[in-house]
A and B are shown apart, each in its own frame.
Chain A
Amino acid sequence: MKEKNNIEQFDNLFKQQLENAIVQPPVGLFEAMSSSIGSAAAVAKVSLLNKLFVGAILVSGTAIISYYLVNDIKKIATKENIALKITNINSDEQPANNDIVLSEPQLKSINKKEIGNLVKSAKPKAIVNEPTTKKVFNDNKSESVEEKNSINNYTINTNDLPKSNEEGQILTPKVDSEIVEQLEPAHVKAIDSSYIFIPNAVTPNGDGLNDEYLIDIKGEDRVQIIIFDKNLNRLFETKNKSIAWQCTLPNGEIAPNGDYIVKVIYTFKNKDQQIKTVKLKLIK
């Protein structure tokens, strides 16, 4: 009991001395922030600046988007080209020469691997650091033994094949090697932009802070948010991540203090679902 009193005394001392303490702030603070509090005089300038700024963002944004779009289209186009070229070679040219027929499985396997690499490099989120098998297509005659071995892993033993110089020339039209060179993936960095933060408290008291309940979600995946009260009555439901719950009951009144349940159903792009349930505290 005595200890409790001591503690109370201790806390009280701080409370008495500091609750209404006064510390003079450094000078010039108000002037430094006057542009951000929207003084009537500053508003005109700010809004003009904002317009300019937003304009600049829009312009640069569209530039960036169109750049990526063009790039993507290029990628897709070249990818299809290659696929077409490869099928052409397979179907038309091979019967003409016995040597090539021998190497058909080899060619196919290379194609598969090559396409695999292309597909990988086309995915925005993947990290592609492997070297391409560009050299296989290369008509350069000095292929190293290692590379040949790696081909062997896929299909047939090159020892049984005629020396690869001849095939190499026949099998690889120059166009292909150029395309492959273009598509050689640069180091694509993985940026996982998905992010979710589910707050566990909301205070609809009109002080401008946490007056509405908004779950912070970034990412392209689909999401469904449902809010229940203690008796599991549905109070709010949305599939739009930018809509906040205004802490109202179905009849329009502001919800009373207490605990609520937030259920977030998160559907990933690959249709996987993750459900998260959080207790929400409402304090006015």
Chain B
Amino acid sequence: MRIVNRVVRGVLTAVAVVGAVLTLQACGGTDGPTGLKGFVPESANDVGGISLPDIGPVGKGSERPLTAAPGDLLLVYFGYTSCPDVCPTTLGDIRSAIRRLPAKDRQRVEVAMATVDPTRDTAAVLRGYVGHFFSLWRAYRTTDPAALMAAEDAFGASSSVTRAKGGGQEVMHSAFTYVVDDQGHQLVSWPFGMRSKDMAADLRTLLSSNQGAQQ
């Protein structure tokens, strides 16, 4: 019995080690020096030069950079509203993450959704969709495919919309959420399926390290 236990324990340890290594590789240093749960870009990824029309309550259609307000964080997601599975799951998780923060920190996190499907995502539809999830939000919508692609490239995102056989649209999109500071630095990105408590942990870490900038 003891031998069996030892064998079982050995196997479990091996599984745990393999799991830990995979996790470390996957997340580019989970709990590493930065303590962040998501991916930290290997080199500084600057998106400060990118701007798109923001049709949200603040932008009202004007071109705005995809950077956070001073001392705050902006979460950027490239998605589309006809997405019944991945997008609402991610946006719901982001909402849960923000709700986990203390009230004063919640005011420092804004969420921006940039539509990859501007044909179906009319301004009214997109505004209703993003506004459903968040109180502080932006909705970026451009009908210029080159401008959208330039923005996606800067973030390391991608998307494609093709006409499906049945007449509908088939949309493929990278489903990451990017956390950007007021300088346009992409600080961390979260893959689809990231737990809201891990997102919240990253937000707390980043907001506390950005405290100085706020004051």
Q: Are A and B bound to each other?
A: no
